[in-house]
Structure 1
């Protein structure tokens, strides 16, 4: 059946308050640039794509090839992060100990090898979902699996998970300042991954921008509630992905941007502008839904050699007046087209009116088009949009297929686990671009084995000391408060007693 299917997210979204090129003489920003019928469009020329071959950026990682291990590719993204995790987790644990007057004996600091063991267990858990964390170490017949207990003791794993940290708490800035970064607790990891995603991969010609929700029901000021989504509560992330599902760039939605200088553009316009900073000047074709699309945005991206196509709200500023006033009374299969400079705006009737704006396609013919069964014939622009718009959803499905995300009240942990899922997926896509013959599942399992092998070559974990020798000051205070009459009179008397007993 030839019908148009909108993405489910498009139906649920509300508007946030926040190819080809033409050879024409008309400036789109001039007052004389008006919308007209399709025959007014000018002659078009081919927009050449000058980006590199899709896949591994060989200039940045010449040592990676089809025989590389998953661990080798994964460490392109995570080498710096491993050291950061170890340092900040140990720092956070010592800060916790310093706040205690008394307590259990301190545990030894975590090492790089232990972090690899910890991450290996976390990744393996995505293939073995259980109700509680402790079930992975259970000796009950229906749960027993030696992998977890042989890799790391349960209490040690829970200790690392409890104190897993990503930034020094002492570096927090004033929350009331306009420059306050709500993502500061995990900003270093976010920036490191974003830079690496762009550095080691050449994306395909066709790209898509969309949003995903990381499910989270804890307390954080930028948590979103979207009642019609499958994941109603969570943290919103905007992504730009290519045809393979590779996440090339991303941005976490943190609420209203108090520092945005350009007050004459919407928040969605500013978001797309930021995500497109890394794809300018090579001729990419970008697809987006009506949450982002607008003539002003398309015009700006066109100056950066990025052509766009997307569904659009009919009341967007800059669209034809008859679109904005919804003057059309269409029957099934009807198409109405307006052109201006290189822009094409069309409305097509299937089950409902569908509005599309593009500057990468030639305008279709107007009229009424149905097949012999009375079904509306889909315009080529609509078919092209449907083909490329689902890249972000594809990436989200693949990342969640072996999700390592655990239930937690810490939003930082939730985002970190999602970033880890994305990094594993990007590593798999990067290795697959080198003609490696591994499935996504096989990549996961091989990565776990590689991590355990790498950890085994590291230094042994320091053993936990027996007992906790209290500090002199805390020992004196406890004795003074509990039993003052037992306190020795002087150090010389104690020394004399030792000599007599000897």
Structure 2
């Protein structure tokens, strides 16, 4: 019997799924049976029913049917319901000004705003602190907002430039090396951020985990802060056009969690199930929800019904929308309830689903010719069957059964393929037109997807949120400007996130890693101090061997060959025996050590120059001290004065304060002592001396 075979298939589905789902949470065991039916055969127990009489091609009338409806043909006239007036809550399209210029990164930050990224940084730093407290052996410095944006830029870069492993992006001196990632951040820093990336606070996670097994436990707690932000942004910055589509997405994941689902019919068979509402005109993701189990929806109408209703908010969208869906969601109750809410709906359906017509009177058979149409109308709902290669079942509250539409199909006749034209129902034509846009939406997500292997399930969801944000940002840019391909958009987004393409002011103000290494090395700092400066002031993390390699490649080395002492003695003796100037090419760099008296003397010399200059101007009656003359002097000499101040600041901050006995001033370079107090080569000063130290090491910082 067909029914017996179908029940066996469903039982095998349930058994096979148990091999993929493992959980220590006992409360989830009772939900598995219904969930396996849905995710293997996309079966909804609340809507799909099997009867022992439902065999072969024909399904008899339901036993509880109030009346018997007969199938009509395409020659019979059908009248569509009165069209609902389209009243969107806002003007459809991007909710941004067309006159403004929108860069890829500005559109991406609509979804990943600085406040959202700041919250990510806070939770990530808290997670790293907890990991270090548990004994993890790696260096960590709190991640900043700018650094996390660069991290996201690298994730997108890896989505476009595929390598076999993360470590390959930082390979050096190889034919297959890619130099860009190393200029953004070191490999170890990228890995530590990946290990600790967290969307919720770890302390709150612990409190939520304690509620496991109760109704208060939230399975999506670790992703909910960012998920709520993404959902709000998707609705805020774009209002969909009239035709919407509801479909499923599967986020690939093999993590050991009860939320993981197995779907045999999908290309990606294992992962997290998402219900998605998209604009069928361009594939923009309007809303999404992650399925966690049968208890996600409170009503008793079934998963397929509740999933659609949860995505359609009349207050946010408006009324008069047309919603298209596939056969998992479609049911007479759903379509009639949507019609009462002033939403039209259309979708394929399953013959064995509750309340659909099962009359065999004048229905299609296997021998029906291609292009044959049968339909039944019950109030606003019309159910249509169309013979293509096989029977296609569609229902709608929008269209009439047949309006004269035609389709072309290739048919083989006498060993020759020919194109023939067949009649096609209006609901089928509309369904093919609007549901196919969901596939391009999925394609956009997959072209440059950020998905890669991770150790934690919630990081998989985080990567999917990145994909949704980048794809929606591209669609917004296309709607506003339309002058970029998807690849060009992603390339510019990566450049802007990683700080490669910035305004000229920013580029001139910020030094590159190579410039910073050259600067600190030229100032005479030790390797350890240079590494500390790069980490604390610029969020650049290098190992000692990497720093030495960068210095060697740049030709920066400490000179170790000194002039022989005999040559120095001979030159000094010659100078002492006669007048002249020492002409000796020393092979070592002269030190920058200056006493405070030398510094003060230089300062007094420059100060005296300005005093004499202004006195001379007054004597010549070129300056009388008025407000106008002061403004003119500032305009003429301010840049020169500022240059002198900058030179003095540079001289003071990088000169070496020599150790002196019984001196209250500590020795060392002021810049290093101020920014790297943990590297002071002395004990902490007493309280009465601390103010002196701060005053003397904080000049011009």
Match 2:469 to one of 407, 423, 439:
423
Alignment match, 1:143: 176
* Equivalence for 1:285: 322
Tell me which residue corresponds to 1:479. Answer: none
Query: Structure 1 residue 154 and structure 2 residue 187: aligned?
Result: yes
- Give the aligned partner of residue 268 of structure 2: 231
- Structure 2: distance between partners of 1:208 and 1:391: 8
State the alpha-carbon separation in 2 of the partners of residues 237 and 326 from structure 1. 40
In the TM superposition, 1:328-367 aligns within 5 A as: 328-330=364-366, 331-332=368-369, 333-364=371-402
- 1:380 is displaced (CA, Å) by 2.8
Instruction: Tell me what 2:117 maps to.
Output: 82
Q: Does 1:168 align with 2:201?
A: yes
Cα drift, residue 164 of structure 1 = 0.8
Checking the alignment, whether the CA contact within 8 Å between 2:324 and 2:435 is kept in structure 1 is yes
Q: Is residue 234–residue 286 contact of structure 2 (8 Å, CA) maintained in 1?
A: yes
Query: Cα distance 1:396–1:326, how it changes in 2: closer, same or farther (>3 A)?
Result: farther
How far residue 230 of structure 1 moved from its aligned partner, in angstroms, is 1.4
Question: Mind listing any 5+ residue stretches in structure 1 that lack a counterpart?
Answer: 1-9, 19-30, 467-502
Instruction: Quote the Cα distance in structure 2 between the aligned partners of 1:392 and 1:465.
Output: 45
| 1:273 aligned partner | 309
Query: In the alignment, which of 286, 311, 314 is matched to residue 248 of structure 1?
Result: 286
1:275-424 paired onto structure 2 within 5 Å: 275-277=311-313, 280-322=317-359, 328-330=364-366, 331-332=368-369, 333-364=371-402, 376-424=422-470
Cα distance, 1:285 vs structure 2: 0.6
Task: Give the TM-score, by structure 2 length.
Answer: 0.58
8 Å CA contact 1:41, 1:341 repeated in 2: no
1:328 deviates by 4.0
Q: Is the contact made by 1:42 and 1:341 (CA closer than 8 Å) also made in structure 2?
A: no
Matched, 1:461 2:507: no
Equivalent residues of 1:281, 1:304 under 8 A apart: no
CA contact (8 A) 2:80 2:399 kept: no
- The residue number in structure 2 matching 1:446 is 492
Task: Rate the CA distance shift 1:218–1:105 in 2: closer, same or farther, 3 A.
Answer: closer
So what's the TM-score if we normalise by structure 1? Answer: 0.79
The change in CA–CA distance for 1:13 and 1:105 in structure 2 (over 3 A counts) is closer
1:229 Cα deviation from its structure 2 partner: 2.2
* 2:145 pairs with one of 112, 121, 125: 112
- d(CA) in 2 for partners of 1:171, 1:40: 62
Contact 2:186 2:540 in 1 (8 A): no
- The residue that corresponds to 2:245 in the other structure is 208
CA deviation map 1:38-69 (0-9, x unaligned): 668657433332234442114xxx4x756211
The alpha-carbon distance between structure 1 residues 256 and 12, as it changes in their structure 2 partners (threshold 3 A), is: closer
Deviation at 1:443, TM superposition (A): 1.1
Return the alpha-carbon distance in structure 2 between the equivalents of residues 362 and 298 of structure 1.
15
SS of the aligned residue for 2:373 comes to strand
Residues 1:382 and 1:71: Cα distance change in structure 2 (over 3 Å) = same
Q: Would you say the 8 A contact 1:166–1:185 is kept in 2?
A: yes
Separation in structure 2 between the aligned mates of residue 148 and residue 464 of structure 1, nearest angstrom: 13
Matches of 2:41 and 2:100 in 1, distance apart? 41
Deviation string 1:108-162 (CA, Å, 9 cap, x unpaired) is: 2111121111111111111100000000000142322221111111111111111
1:217 maps to 2:257: no
Deviations 1:181-238 (A, max 9, x none): 1111001111110011001101121111010111112211111112232111111111
Residue 392 of structure 1, CA deviation? 2.5
SS at 1:212 equivalent: strand
User: Secondary structure, in 3 states, of the residue corresponding to 1:293?
Assistant: coil
Residues 1:133 and 2:166 are matched in the alignment: yes
Shift of 1:436: 3.9
Q: Root-mean-square deviation (CA), in Å?
A: 3.2
> What is the CA–CA distance in structure 2 between the aligned matches of 1:32 and 1:282, rounded to whole Å?
32
Q: Deviations over 1:348-377 (max 9, x none)?
A: 1122211111010012289x9998967753
Distance 1:374 1:112, change over 3 A: closer
CA distance in 2, matches of 1:248, 1:398: 15
Deviation for aligned residue 1:260: 3.6
Equivalent pairs counted in the alignment come to: 436
Q: State the match for 1:469 in structure 2.
A: none
Return closer, same or farther for 1:370/1:461 CA change in 2, 3 Å cut-off: closer
Deviations along 1:11-57, one digit per CA (max 9) or x if unpaired, are 98422336xxxxxxxxxxxx989756666865743333223444211
